[in-house]
Chains A and B, each alone.
Chain A
Amino acid sequence: MCLAVPARIIELEGDRAVVDAMGNRWKAKTTLLPDAKLGDVVLVHAGFAIALVDEEEAKKTWELFAEIENFEKTSNKVSG
Chain B
Amino acid sequence: MATNPERILLAHGGGGRLSSQLIREHIVPKFKNEALSELADSAHLRLPSTDICFTTDSYVVKPLFFRGGDIGKLAVCGTVNDLAVSGARPLALSLALIIEEGFEFELLDRILQSASEAAQRNHVIVVTGDTKTVEHGSADGIFLNTAGIGVRLPNVILGLDKVEVGDKILLSGTIGDHGMTIVSQREGIGFESPLESDCAGLAELTCALFENVPGIRFMRDPTRGGLAATLNEIVEGSRRSVEIDERAIRVRPVVQTAADMLGFDVLNAANEGKFVAVVSPDAADQCLRICREHPLGRDADIIGEIVKTRDVPLVELKTKIGGRRIVQMPYGRELPRIC
Contact = CB atoms under 8 A, between A and B. Distances in A.
Interface of A: 1-3, 5, 7, 21-27, 44-46, 64, 67, 71
B254 interface: yes
Contact of B254 (A1, A2, A23): A23
A60 to B, nearest CB: 15
A3 B254 CA distance: 17
B334 to A, nearest CB: 13
Given A1-B338, A24-B261, 5 more contacts: A21-B261, A22-B256, A23-B193, A26-B191, A45-B338
Interface in B309-339: 337-339
B337 A64 contact: no
B42 interface: no
Nearest to B191: A26
Contact of A24 (B257, B337, B338): B257
Interface residues of B, number: 17
Contacts of B194: 23-24
B237 interface: no
Contacts of B339: 1-3
Interface in B253-268: 253-254, 256-258, 260-261, 263
Given A3-B338, A45-B338, A21 B257 contact: yes
Contacts of A7: 261
Contacts of A25: 191-193
B195 interface: yes
Given A23-B194, A24-B191, A25-B193, A3 B263 contact: yes
A24 B258 contact: yes
Nearest to A47: B338
B122 interface: no
A26 B260 CA distance: 13
Contacts of A3: 260-261, 263, 337-339
A45 B262 CA distance: 10
B338 A22 contact: no
Contacts of B184: 24
A26 B184 CA distance: 10
A22 B254 contact: yes
A23 B184 CA distance: 12
Contact of A46 (B193, B253, B257, B338): B338
Given A64-B253, A64-B256, A67-B253, A24 B195 contact: yes
21 contacts: A1-B338, A2-B338, A3-B261, A5-B260, A21-B261, A22-B256, A22-B257, A22-B258, A23-B193, A23-B195, A24-B184, A24-B192, A24-B194, A24-B257, A24-B261, A25-B193, A26-B261, A45-B338, A64-B253, A67-B253, A71-B253
A64 B337 CA distance: 21
Nearest to A70: B253
A67 to B, nearest CB: 6
B263 A24 contact: no
